[in-house]
């Protein structure tokens, strides 16, 4: 078990992190002590996964109108409900509707907006690039290994909402747990593809891989001579930091993989996923102290979410706090065009403004790259590198000369964030089709003219 870290035990930084027993504001956990709260098993066993569980845990804070709104949200979302007690108790339940943490994990029926006509189930074209049932090979030297589709929390904005977690009222899925016996063909493919230097192990979430599976994947991949870098993707540091201080078996496995990486002079990284500074507490500092001892490099990938982190001040504070704990801000993604997320998306213009302001606010290596993962498989493109952008109708065109030469990819801003004129155009089908056709013709001409 792991005791609540105190300020004196935290790494010395310019920031102080919440070391209060904040979970005790939740009725059901009023008597839970820090040792219990700091045990990953208790976090897993007490994760909140249904509306009755929310009512039971919140008691008086669960007002009838809030519960009705959550129930309505669950009829519209493709994602299951699962929140760890850690993340559940970071929510300000007195004003749950406005809370940025709640907004990420527990959608309200009143928030939803109609999907954009160009929303896509698989916006970054992972299914079309499957080399094996568990491996997406989309870029020349990098591949994405998806050994598991389960997560310790479920995010409303998940880009893999088509496969991650179980079925919901609006989405049926054939999800899978991690079955080591089925991975041989994937390892074989990587072994036979010497151009693959980078392997991302994602899902789902690597946090739910068993220690033996962390070893199996890490050691097998590091023993392939041509693989130079591996990264385990997990949201764990943001939503269950006590995993890294209380699951010694899992940490032993990670340490072993890191040591092998050091011996082979190969990088072992952990890519995590904080979206707001509200997720950073003394527990995070403690987790990072423990992770730092393994030698693993930790980077952060955020998603730009309307009402959560789409302001410069918020993003700057989040970035600086993460950096102070050796979590390197790496990417800030424009929200992918997945269904049921229109209320969470932002425009290219908002992302571009944020990118302009965040550059220069801290050291370059701690400045996240703001990118659009070009819909249809164009890959990550710098936010200001579009070929053409029509802000009135909210469409931008992107090329990817190295990964996908000759192709053009289109991203569509959320309609509700356009000007009155832009919104009106989207209600007039012949007119919007005419504008889009003109835009695409201009983008094609410009891409041709600037091809290199
Ligand atoms: S943790 Fe990652 S994979 Fe899991 S639901 Fe959230 S965004 Fe999706």
Predicted confidence at residue 1, as pLDDT, reads 45
> Which pTM was predicted?
0.94
CA of 271 to the centre of ligand 1 (A): 12
Is residue 240 in contact with ligand 1, taking CB distance under 6 Å? no
Q: Which atom of ligand 1 is nearest to the CA of 79?
A: 5
Q: How many Cβ atoms are within 10 Å of 295's Cβ, its own excluded?
A: 13
Centre of ligand 1 from the C-alpha of residue 152, in Å: 9
Q: 156 C-alpha to center of ligand 1: Å?
A: 9
| Superfamily the domain 127-381 falls into | Aldolase class I (3.20.20.70)
Mutate to test the pocket of ligand 1, among 82, 171, 173, 204 (most ligand atoms within 8 A of CB): 204
Q: How far apart are CA 134 and CA 132, in angstroms?
A: 5
Q: Ligand 1: distance of its center to the CA of 216 in Å?
A: 22
**Any atom of ligand 1 within 6 Å of the Cβ of 247:** no
Where are the domains positioned within the chain?
7-111, 127-381, 386-452
Q: Which pLDDT band holds residue 16 (cuts at 50, 70, 90)?
A: confident
pLDDT tens string 22-31 = 999 999 999 9
Ligand 1 within 6 A of 239 CB? no
Taking residues 232-258, report their average pLDDT: 98
Q: Which helix (H) or strand (E) covers residue 269, if one does?
A: strand 267-272
Ligand 1: residue of 160, 176, 300 to mutate (most ligand atoms within 8 A of CB) is 160
Residues 195-232 pLDDT 10s: 999 999 998 999 999 999 999 999 999 999 999 999 99
**How distant, in Å, are the alpha carbons of 284, 301, 362, 448 from that of 321?**
11, 14, 11, 43
Percent of the chain with pLDDT over 90: 90
What would the pLDDT profile of 260-272 be if each residue is shown by its tens digit?
999 999 999 999 9
CB 204 within 8 A of CB 148: yes
Q: Which region among 4-13, 131-140, 244-253, 318-327 has the lowest average model confidence (pLDDT)?
A: 4-13
């Amino acid at each position: 078990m792991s005791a609540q870290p105190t300020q004196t035990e935290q790494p010395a930084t310019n920031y102080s992190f919440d070391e209060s027993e904040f979970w005790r504001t939740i009725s059901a956990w009023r008597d839970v002590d820090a040792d219990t709260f700091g045990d990953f098993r208790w976090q897993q066993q007490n994760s909140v996964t249904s509306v009755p569980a929310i009512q039971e845990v919140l008691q008086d804070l669960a007002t009838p109108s809030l519960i009705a709104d959550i129930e309505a949200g669950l009829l519209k979302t493709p994602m299951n409900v699962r929140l760890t007690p850690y993340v559940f108790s970071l929510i300000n339940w007195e004003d749950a509707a406005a809370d940025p943490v709640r907004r990420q994990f527990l959608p309200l029926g009143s928030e939803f907006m109609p999907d954009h006509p160009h929303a896509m189930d698989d916006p970054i074209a992972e299914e079309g690039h499957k080399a094996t049932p568990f491996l997406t090979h989309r870029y020349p030297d990098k591949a994405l290994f998806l050994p598991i589709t389960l997560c310790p929390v479920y995010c409303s904005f998940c880009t893999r909402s088509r496969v991650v977690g179980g079925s919901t009222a609006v989405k049926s899925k054939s999800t899978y747990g991690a079955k080591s016996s089925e991975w041989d063909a994937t390892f074989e493919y990587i072994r036979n593809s010497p151009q693959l230097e980078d392997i991302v192990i994602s899902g789902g979430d690597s946090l739910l891989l068993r220690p033996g599976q962390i070893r199996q994947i890490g050691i097998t991949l590091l023993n392939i001579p041509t693989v130079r870098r591996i990264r385990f993707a997990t949201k764990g540091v943001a939503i269950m930091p006590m995993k890294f201080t209380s699951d010694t078996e899992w940490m032993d496995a990670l340490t072993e993989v890191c040591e092998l990486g050091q011996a082979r002079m190969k990088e072992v990284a952990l890519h995590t996923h904080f979206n707001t500074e509200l997720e950073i507490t003394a527990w995070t500092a403690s987790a990072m102290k423990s992770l730092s001892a393994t030698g693993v490099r930790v980077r952060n990938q955020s998603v730009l979410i309307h009402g959560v982190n789409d302001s410069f001040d918020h993003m700057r504070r989040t970035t600086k706090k993460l950096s102070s704990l050796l979590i390197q801000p790496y990417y800030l993604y424009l929200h992918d065009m997945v269904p049921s997320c229109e209320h969470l998306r932002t425009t290219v213009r908002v992302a571009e403004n944020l990118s302009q302001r965040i550059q220069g606010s801290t050291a370059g290596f701690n400045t996240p790259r703001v990118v659009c993962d070009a819909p249809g498989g164009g890959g990550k493109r710098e936010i200001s590198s579009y070929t053409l952008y029509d802000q009135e109708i909210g469409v931008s065109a992107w090329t990817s000369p190295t990964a996908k030469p000759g192709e053009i990819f289109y991203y569509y801003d959320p309609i509700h964030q356009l000007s009155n004129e832009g919104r009106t155009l989207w209600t007039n089908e012949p007119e919007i089709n005419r504008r889009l056709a003109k835009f695409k013709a201009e983008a094609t001409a410009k891409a041709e003219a600037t091809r290199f």
